[in-house]
Amino acid sequence: MIAAAVKLAAAVLLLCASAQALTFDFDDIARVESYRRISIDVCDMRESFGIRDFADVQDVYENGRHAIRSNGTKRIPRDVAVRDYTGEKFYDDMIAYGFPASAWGLWVGPVVYGTTPYVKTGPRVEAGKSWARAYHVLYILHEAHAGLKNAEAAVLTTDAAAADTLWDHAVEEIEDAYGVFLGVGACAPSRFAKSISPENSEKFTNAMVAARNAGRAKNIVLLRTTLQRAVDALTVICLKATEVAVKSPVSAPIKWPLAAASLSDNYGLNTTQIALQTAVMRVAAAAFPFFKAVEAYVGTLAPEPTARMLAYLNHNCAPNDCPPQAGLANSIASDLKLIAESNGLEYDV
């Protein structure tokens, strides 16, 4: 294993120096550090996927490793992936969109355990590395909206002491969400970290600082507004990560229309075609997690480009509808821009 902990400190300094217009003065550095160390587990899983050590991937996923609570217990990736967080706005939005409450577990499990549709090693490796990075998104959204849930409960209770406690928890969870964000980029090279421009990092940071301050001030209206700004910034980051994955060097030689061929039955394909088909699956697998992470936020207001994106990334578009490789990246970038703008988000191709 690469010494991920050493890389984490450097990555955090780079991320913070690149664009942090506001200062995030944490109430409890040790607690936030525990959340930031989730990235070390992510790095371990990503690196193990890269060397095909799937047993180690499963060990980290099922047991956790580096992110340890103050009581000595570990934060376990699988627990967060499979848990039902109904009642948190993030999960309620996903359910309203049509995803099951345990959607993340259903998406990540096949990659970790090598079941359909990730039986082939190449696509499984690419999907695994991307899902590991997209795990940051899951954890950030969960913690941020857990904070909002506590704040909403604080407003409703008539018990002043209970309200104060709930507001304290809300502030802590928003800080914890930002602690996870600070770990992004700990694994290098990372398409996800590269997709975070200084501008989008600054937007997310500023929104999270404002949300935390709104929690301290017990201002529920401002908290809702600023958290939505943070979610918007994180959504753009994920859309850019999708584009970065599709434009990566591994996609250059692909004949994308071959993706229309059956991926479950190689009958009738020669060796070269099968190799190209697998390459298509690898690129789609690398990009898919980042788009899926925020689909519920953007899909309703942009149904047509969202359907095209899913066709591209599920490698099942028809030959006449699937752009040739030369134009695929530009087609996807254009659709991502359309999706963002349909949702009132800024997106530069």
The region, left, alpha or beta by phi > 0 then psi within -120 to 50, assigned to residue 73 is beta
* pTM exceeds 0.85 for this model: no
Among 77, 152, 126, 173, which Cα is nearest to 315's? 126
Distance CA 77, CA 176 (A): 15
Helix (H, G, I), strand (E, B) or coil at 17: helix
Sketch the domain layout of the chain as residue ranges: 4-64+75-248
143 or 186, which is more confident: 143
**Of 12-26, 172-186, 333-347, highest mean pLDDT:** 333-347
Q: Is the pLDDT of residue 173 over 90?
A: yes
**CB 162: neighbour CB atoms within 10 A?**
12
**CB 163: neighbour CB atoms within 10 A?**
18
Element (H, E) at 151: helix 121-156
How much is the pLDDT for 4? Answer: 39
How much is the pLDDT for 239? Answer: 92
Distance CA 4, CA 188 (A): 9
Averaged pLDDT, 244-249: 71
With bands split at pLDDT 50, 70 and 90, how would you rate the model's confidence at 191?
Answer: low
Distance CA 28, CA 14 (A): 22
Distance CA 207, CA 215 (A): 12
Averaged pLDDT, 195-224: 91
Averaged pLDDT, 252-262: 41
Q: Which of 25-39, 157-171, 186-200, 288-302 has the least mean pLDDT? A: 186-200
User: What one-character DSSP code corresponds to residue 218?
Assistant: T
- The 10s digit of each residue's pLDDT in 9-23 is 333 333 433 334 456
